[in-house]
Amino acid sequence: MIAKTYACSLLGIDAILVEVEVDLASGLPGFATVDLLDNIVKETKGRVKAAIQKSGYPFPFERITVNLPPAALKKEGSDSTC
């Protein structure tokens, strides 16, 4: 794991802690998110790539894996993490 940070997800009116874990690995370049994700959440590659580039960093040409535990919590909608 290269980086870990925290976010939250809403479950009704309760905020649930979500860890955001990112790993870079050698191999064919790619971007994957894992856990119970809605299709909208899975389609974040473009937003992540733009955010990295706008921050002045080059987009890595490695295999990028983003994990959003806890796995039992379904992440739905574009505002699933706050």
Provide the mean pLDDT of the chain. Answer: 78
The domain segmentation of the chain, as residue ranges, is 3-67
11-47 residue pLDDT tens: 778 888 888 889 999 888 888 877 766 666 666 778 8
Residue 54: burial class (beta carbons within 10 Å; 0-12, 13-18, 19+): exposed
Give the span between the Cα atoms of 43 and 80, in whole angstroms.
Answer: 13
What is the structure's pLDDT at 37?
Answer: 63
What tokens appear for 42 in the block? 């899975």
Q: In the predicted model, is pLDDT for residue 53 greater than 80? A: yes
Is the per-residue pLDDT at 81 higher than 70? no
| pTM exceeding 0.85 | no
User: If you compute the radius of gyration of the chain from its CA atoms, what whole number of angstroms results?
Assistant: 13
